[in-house]
Structure 1
Amino acid sequence: MAAQRLAQACVKEIAEDAGVAKPTVYNHLSDKETLFRHTLEAAADAVLAENLAVVERLRDPGDDLCAALEDTGHRLLKVCGGERSSALRWLTYSQVGGFPDLIEAVQSRTSDRLTEALADRLARLVLAGRLRPCEPALAAQQFLALLTGPLEARSRLGTRKVTAPETRAVADAAVDTFLRAYGT
């Protein structure tokens, strides 16, 4: 079912789209608003799982830390610019009037937990002497900002899709800047 139809959809339509009986929806969820929240939370969890799998690459970056960070950055941008992440972002923002707490709920499940996982990996790189001593949480926030900031500006309001060469260039530039600040 299209996201635009949420407000107009009845529980019967939602059940049909889900391939279940209407009482099944009510047995598990009290109303369509609860269904909507659970759906967005599940989508946020899926995006987080994709991002955590990418960050896991930094557990063992190999001999070339720059290449590992570039690969991680590029893959994070692919997830961030992917269909699921984009739909989640747009749906969250479009429904914030009816669900004001939704942005915080989605952010805590996606960007906040991604930042924590990345901070953990960066802390391990600091302990291994691969990065200079720093506050890992701040370094993680800065790395993610270096990655996502330029792409948000380029794809403002979804007016155009950012190309793979652009994401690669942004990831490479982000890593270059990051290593100038945090490299040994």
Structure 2
Amino acid sequence: MGSEVSTGGGRTARGPMERRRAILDGAFAVFARRGYAQACVKEIAQEAGVAKPTVYSHLNDKESLYREAVETVADRIGARSLAAVEHLRATAPDADPRAPLTTVARDLLEVLGAADAAALRRLAWAQAAQFPDLAAYVHERTALRVRSALADRLARLTLDGRLRGCDPELAAEHFLSLITGSLEYRPSATPDSLADPTVDVFLRAYGR
């Protein structure tokens, strides 16, 4: 049985999980638009399409809304980033790494350049003094885990002789820095236009 049913007024009654997801999505949208201090639960309820008491029935207060909304988006972006890195897992031991690295770069540029990722970075750092643990959580989910996964894949390419001997953690940092630097200085460029130069520079340093 589905979790949504039609009401007599032409609206759809959402189940608890769908309502909670809508509330968190609405909360993140409002926090991204207003900032933490200026956001209010009434606007979040309107954004989510629910009554204000419904918001409080799922999350107790604005701080809880902020924390869970930010954590949810951080988890989502982290998962997308890890999925992008997984392109390197299927690389054949004797294959040129340029093509899979370019695919990884393009996908990471798409993920990290998306509006929700940019909003997450702004929110996490803007409120870092008030919520240092949350800023650390975002960093761990969207940066440190991704670096670790990428380092693991780069270590395998090094063992296979596809890359020069290197510290894989440092190589992963350099690869990711090329991506974040491109997004910082060329925010209007497309992922396709940025991926090739990113890999070119990386392989000048680490290619065989």
Give the alignment of 1:1-184 within 5 angstroms. Answer: 1=26, 2-3=30-31, 4=34, 6-11=36-41, 14-15=44-45, 17-18=47-48, 25-26=55-56, 29-62=59-92, 63-155=95-187, 162-164=188-190, 167-184=191-208
Greater RCO, CA 8 A, separation 6+? 1
Alignment RMSD, CA only?
Answer: 2.4
Deviation string, structure 1 residues 64-123 (Cα, Å, up to 9, x no partner): 311111121111111111122112122223333543443322111101111011011111
Relative to structure 1, is the Cα distance of residues 113 and 23 closer, same or farther in structure 2, using a 3 angstrom cutoff? same
Deviation string, structure 1 residues 1-47 (Cα, Å, up to 9, x no partner): 42216434554654564456666655654421122011101101100
Instruction: State the TM-score, normalizing by the size of structure 2.
Output: 0.73
Relative to structure 1, is the Cα distance of residues 78 and 116 closer, same or farther in structure 2, using a 3 angstrom cutoff? same
Relative to structure 1, is the Cα distance of residues 17 and 138 closer, same or farther in structure 2, using a 3 angstrom cutoff? same
Relative to structure 1, is the Cα distance of residues 9 and 124 closer, same or farther in structure 2, using a 3 angstrom cutoff? same
Unaligned runs of at least 5 residues, structure 2: 1-25
Asked if 1 retains the 8 angstrom alpha-carbon contact of 2:96 and 2:162, the reply is no
Q: Distance in 1 between matches of 2:81 and 2:35?
A: 29
Unaligned runs of at least 5 residues, structure 1: 156-161
In the alignment of these two chains, the number of paired residues is 176
Relative to structure 1, is the Cα distance of residues 11 and 118 closer, same or farther in structure 2, using a 3 angstrom cutoff? same
- Structure having the higher Rg: 2
Asked if 1 retains the 8 angstrom alpha-carbon contact of 2:42 and 2:52, the reply is yes
Amino acid at match of 1:181: A
Relative to structure 1, is the Cα distance of residues 122 and 24 closer, same or farther in structure 2, using a 3 angstrom cutoff? same
Q: Distance in 2 between matches of 1:135 and 1:5?
A: 39
Residue 17 of structure 2 is matched in structure 1 by none
Matched position secondary structure for 1:73? helix
Relative to structure 1, is the Cα distance of residues 58 and 98 closer, same or farther in structure 2, using a 3 angstrom cutoff? same
Asked if 1 retains the 8 angstrom alpha-carbon contact of 2:179 and 2:198, the reply is yes
How far did 1:60 drift? 1.3
Asked if 1 retains the 8 angstrom alpha-carbon contact of 2:151 and 2:171, the reply is yes
Instruction: State the TM-score, normalizing by the size of structure 1.
Output: 0.81
